[in-house]
Structure 1
């Protein structure tokens, strides 16, 4: 073999090896996962996303999930549109944040609709949630994991129990249904994502807030408030905060990758199911440790709130949201 021919064959082999390596690299796809909570600090929603990332890495199907916590990639309420457009692949997302585009989503933060953590799990497999997930899917988003979090009230001024204790306080709620109920009790409303509660209280913009047990701890709101109303046996506040994925991103994956994501999502969901109740107790423990007064609503307090909710949130939802009446009926049918 001539020296020229050997050089040609060697060069050809090198080009071929680079082509194979380039092809293998191109097969690897990185998915961007975004959420608003602090990363690496024990927030259960961040942990759900981290579980998905770890499980996908273990599955070895040419996928990687890169997690962007703390609203570092998209602002909290911008994540929905980013998923619909395919600009964001995965998000841990409080669904009611998208109720401006899909008002039916407010049913997933309707005062008193979810009775407790066990009831939330039953709702996941109900016709009510089938309808909600159809709207999610039709909008161009896929559910990877279900998650419900309980929540409570906190105030920089005084303890919130019955509706009369809310009068005159400027408060934040996560969505329209809660805002309507709180306004019905005489509160002034300031709308914002939970990531902005701390600063709003610090600057005097807010007197009080509703949010999840997880967010009350992760955002260190105990540094700003005098009194916490824990979820207790009469939690009015339950919010659906699933792990979602852009359908455009989903459709680009092969079958093995889709199966791996579904399995990872299931594992994350099982984690949250185990954690959910514990988040409520952690909330109480952390706030007491930091000198915040902790109180519980009585059955009478909760009943008085529900009466206001029927006249405000439920009525508005049934009257103004397409299919709202049927959605509420389906949710109430789940014992």
Structure 2
């Protein structure tokens, strides 16, 4: 192309502001993937609702400069593929249990460490403590940006008797949800079966699982009351607290201008109150669901909770701290938040 031709084209573009406006007006389209049942902003699993609320509010605040496509029920990719895809920049946003990536990123298992977090107050306090700052730094180094802190308590559904004390798990096939949770189950005498929460119902129906730990919200959404006889709820406290955040690929985040990055972080933070309230409501709803199906519902007492926590401290906590220097540092910082 000659110099004269290039100059002519530049003059033409400069003389056509509508062309420039059209180029800048193209919205950024981001994909959100999760494994939970789909619904709407107003109804359904709160994790899907949160994703839709996040998308709607971000689009409003950016005046349509960012738009979203939401893929529930693992329709875009399998649940355990989401965090690697985020880290590699192949997926934009997901709401996903961090423990799914624990095999490759052992540090993230601090978010499902048995007995380390025992209340929503303690879990959400992490965000503004040194543990939260260090965890965010570590995630960013792995290519991940945490948009919303979402903690969920969980319970244990069982095809037989309720699992209250560690010795109740002996001889059973149990799903724990993370390597550290599996560690204490093995110590209690259970046979551990690893799988994502989406597979629990089918495994229990086929007798491949006797019991399973998962969040209260998943106990409800996957209708585990239909394949279980009893449930141990989180209403009275629990050793099973999971960090399941709304998380973004750093590669996708860094491509956005700073004002849009700020909006994403602000909307994510604003939705944390909704997440906490919804999770607490699901903790209570689990009991009613199982009782309505003719099942047995029990809560952990202080003594039972202490037994699990003591078992975890002597096994899972110790093993985690020995994995690498990052794990040791995170564990030490998290222990400072225990009241």
**TM-score, structure 2 length as denominator?**
0.90
1:257 corresponds to: 260
Distance in 2 of aligned mates of 1:21 and 1:305:
61
1:165-223: CA deviation from partner (whole Å, max 9, x where unpaired): 10111011110000000010000011011011001111111111000011110111111
Give runs of ≥4 in structure 1 deviating > 6 Å. Answer: none
The 5 A counterparts of 1:1-335 are: 19=19, 23=23, 27-40=26-39, 42-59=44-61, 60-334=63-337, 335=339
Q: Name which of structure 1's ranges 143-152 and 263-272 shifts more when overlaid on structure 2.
A: 263-272
Distance in 2 of aligned mates of 1:213 and 1:220:
11
Distance in 2 of aligned mates of 1:99 and 1:322:
15
- Name the SS of the counterpart of 2:315 in structure 1: helix
Distance in 2 of aligned mates of 1:322 and 1:75:
31
Distance in 2 of aligned mates of 1:234 and 1:282:
15
| 1:19 shift after superposition | 4.5
RMSD value over aligned CA atoms?
Answer: 2.0
1:8-56: CA deviation from partner (whole Å, max 9, x where unpaired): xxxx99xx6994685256x211100000100115212111111111102
- Count of aligned pairs: 322
Contact 2:235 2:284 in 1 (8 A): no
Contact 1:147 1:273 in 2 (8 A): yes
- Name the SS of the counterpart of 1:234 in structure 2: coil
Distance in 1 of aligned mates of 2:202 and 2:74:
15
| 1:110 shift after superposition | 0.9
Distance in 1 of aligned mates of 2:195 and 2:250:
27
Contact 2:116 2:309 in 1 (8 A): no
| 1:232 shift after superposition | 2.6
Distance in 1 of aligned mates of 2:314 and 2:276:
32
Distance in 1 of aligned mates of 2:210 and 2:221:
19
Contact 1:48 1:268 in 2 (8 A): yes
Gaps of 5+ in 2: 1-11
Contact 1:104 1:322 in 2 (8 A): no
Contact 1:51 1:264 in 2 (8 A): no
Gaps of 5+ in 1: 1-11
Distance in 1 of aligned mates of 2:324 and 2:295:
39
| 1:263 shift after superposition | 2.4
- Name the SS of the counterpart of 1:323 in structure 2: helix
Distance in 2 of aligned mates of 1:161 and 1:274:
25
| 1:61 shift after superposition | 4.3
- Name the SS of the counterpart of 2:284 in structure 1: helix
